[in-house]
Amino acid sequence: MKNILFDLDGTISNSKDGITKCVQYALRSFDIYEDNLNKLEAFIGPPLVDSFMKYYNFSETEAKEATTKYRQRYSEIGVHEAEIYPNVEKCLIKLKNENFFIGLASSKPENFCKTVLADFNIIQYFDDIAGATLDGKISSKKDVLEEVFLRNNNLKKEDSLLIGDTVYDVLGAKYAGISCIGVSYGFGNVEEMKKAGAIAVIDDILELIDLLKSL
């Protein structure tokens, strides 16, 4: 493997506070009051419009309105309510020193991805940063991964790997034609990731370095 693509939320960034508080804020505009932030963890990973429709039975129009409301708070406050997971920077430095292509592939809007990576002072390690578009044309994990390969047409899918924390990452990678390694410390379910086809699940991001040598 020569090309390592990372998910952001739950893989690099512990973004629970920022995301769940912004979902809570958006729901309040629909007179829905959810005090249990743990219940809103399901919003971490998938496209927001899909999640509002799935978990609160919103129409597509309502879901888009809720997403706009979410982004009002997120752009000013929520984007900064996150912490980098342990050993992420060490892992990126090792990969960079071994001349891997390092990319980000997130369903979060691209401008927010760049803000988070800059906050963590790790943006310099990335060769490309791909995220969703605000107009919704690129939203799913598969869409974002395809955008990475479109921008970097020298990358071969058979030499590429996604690192993510949910079944949405594993399935998105599968649909895009690449393999996926899961991390257990994020917001997903380990058994779901394995069942969906993750080639491995690691407990610490630094385990990736040795694992890559065996692939």
174 neighbors 197 (Cβ within 8 angstroms)? yes
Greatest extent of the chain over all pairs of C-alpha atoms, in Å:
52
pLDDT tens string for the chain (215 positions)?
799 999 999 999 999 999 999 999 999 999 999 999 999 999 998 889 999 999 999 999 999 999 999 999 999 999 999 999 999 999 999 999 999 999 999 999 999 999 999 999 999 999 999 999 988 899 899 999 999 999 999 999 999 999 999 999 999 999 999 999 999 999 999 999 999 999 999 999 999 999 999 88
pLDDT value of position 47: 87
Task: Select which of 7, 9, 143, 165 is catalytic.
Answer: 7
7 is catalytic: yes
List the domain boundaries for the chain.
Answer: 3-14+83-213, 16-80
**Domain 3-14+83-213: which topology?**
Rossmann fold (3.40.50)
**What is the radius of gyration, based on Cα positions, of the chain?**
17
pLDDT value of position 184: 98
pLDDT value of position 54: 97
Please name the residue ranges forming H helices in the chain: 16-28, 48-56, 60-76, 88-97, 110-119, 141-151, 167-176, 190-196, 207-213
Beta bridge partners of 64: none
Beta bridge partners of 162: 5, 180
Instruction: Give φ, ψ of 4 to 5 degrees.
Output: -110, 120
pLDDT value of position 134: 86
Distances (CA, A) of 68 to 132, 166, 170, 178: 14, 24, 27, 32
**Domain 16-80: which topology?**
DNA polymerase; domain 1 (1.10.150)
pLDDT value of position 46: 86
